[in-house]
């Protein structure tokens, strides 16, 4: 089973979400692999220091991605893929093979518009998947960098809901702890400071809300 984290926009929080999700599932006892599809390879560098127990592979070309993802799926409970900030053949491979797609987005109009372009692309891939008899595809948009002051995120939330977009109820706030986690080569769920603990609580709430049911069952069996 693969969960792909995609958004054509850079700086949306894809790598942050991928690394945190991978560590969260690892800490629950699952055998996790991380696929880094971004040529910048930020996820690979971060995860190798944060949690060497997670097998990480950089797969940049479409053919390598097709082979690599299927091979990793057969040897791991879950594969998390960190997408590149573009919509290309590689991103389409991730969309085609994923069981679930998470799309983090900054809560501003321009970012949400870019996110909707990514979502349109997923909907086209979904048609190909249905034609090929590959099961359902679960897509969740996640508002990230939500500020505690102002109500911009509420406007974004209302507009995404009115467009019937699959928005997760749980959003991630803008918190220094997410940026500090990279500096400390760890994840917020393993940090002690109060800001990190608040971030960890939000993440756990998000994962409890959105993760596929099969994964939760796998976790209970582990």
Binding site for ligand ADP (CB under 6 A): 7, 10-16, 42, 85, 144-145, 172, 174-175, 178-179, 182
Residue 83 partner contact from ligand ADP, Mg ion, none using kind-dependent CB cut-offs of 5 to 8 Å: none
Smaller CB separation from ligand ADP, 167 or 218 = 167
Token duo for residue 2: 């693969």
Q: What is the largest CA-CA distance in the chain?
A: 49
How near is the Cβ of 222 to ligand ADP at its closest, in Å? 27
| Interacting residues of 44 by C-beta distance below 8 A, sequence separation 6+ | 34, 36, 56, 58
Smaller CB separation from ligand ADP, 43 or 218 = 43
d(CA 70, CA 1): 9
d(CA 191, CA 164): 36
d(CA 156, CA 152): 6
How near is the Cβ of 14 to Mg ion at its closest, in Å? 5
Residue 178 partner contact from Mg ion, ligand ADP, none using kind-dependent CB cut-offs of 5 to 8 Å: ligand ADP
Smaller CB separation from ligand ADP, 84 or 93 = 84
**Helix segments in 37-151, DSSP class H:** 42-50, 62-75, 89-97, 109-131
| Interacting residues of 171 by C-beta distance below 8 A, sequence separation 6+ | 107, 142, 143, 144, 146, 153, 157, 202
Q: Which of 4, 5, 12, 14 binds Mg ion (CB under 5 A)?
A: 14
What angle do the packed helices 89-97 and 62-75 form, to 10 degrees?
20
Residue 11 partner contact from Mg ion, ligand ADP, none using kind-dependent CB cut-offs of 5 to 8 Å: ligand ADP
How near is the Cβ of 144 to ligand ADP at its closest, in Å? 5
Smaller CB separation from ligand ADP, 130 or 179 = 179
Total residue count of the chain as it appears in this document: 222
How near is the Cβ of 74 to ligand ADP at its closest, in Å? 27
Q: Which of 15, 91, 118, 144 binds Mg ion (CB under 5 A)?
A: 15
Smaller CB separation from Mg ion, 14 or 153 = 14
Query: Are the beta carbons of 25 and 102 closer than 8 angstroms?
Result: no
Binding residues vs Mg ion (CB under 5 A) = 14-15, 38
């Amino acid at each position: 089973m693969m969960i792909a984290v995609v958004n054509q926009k850079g700086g949306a929080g894809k790598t942050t979400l991928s690394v945190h999700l991978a560590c969260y599932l690892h800490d629950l006892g699952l055998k996790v692999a991380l696929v880094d599809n971004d040529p910048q390879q930020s996820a690979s560098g971060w995860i190798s220091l944060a949690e060497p127990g997670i097998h990480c592979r950089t797969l940049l070309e479409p053919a390598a991605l097709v082979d690599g993802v299927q091979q990793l799926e057969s040897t791991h409970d879950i594969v998390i893929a960190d997408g590149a900030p573009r919509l290309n053949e590689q991103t389409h491979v991730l969309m085609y093979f994923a069981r679930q797609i998470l799309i983090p987005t900054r809560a501003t109009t321009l970012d949400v518009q870019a996110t909707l372009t990514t979502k349109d692309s997923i909907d086209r891939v979904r048609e190909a998947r249905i034609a090929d008899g590959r099961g359902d595809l679960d897509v969740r948009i996640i508002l990230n960098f939500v500020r505690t002051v102002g109500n911009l995120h509420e406007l974004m939330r209302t507009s995404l809901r009115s467009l019937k977009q699959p928005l997760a109820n749980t959003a991630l706030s803008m918190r220094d702890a997410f940026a500090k986690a990279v500096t400390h080569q760890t994840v917020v769920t393993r940090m002690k400071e109060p800001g990190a603990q608040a971030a960890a609580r939000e993440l756990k709430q998000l994962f409890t809300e959105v993760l596929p049911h099969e994964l939760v069952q796998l976790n209970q069996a582990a």
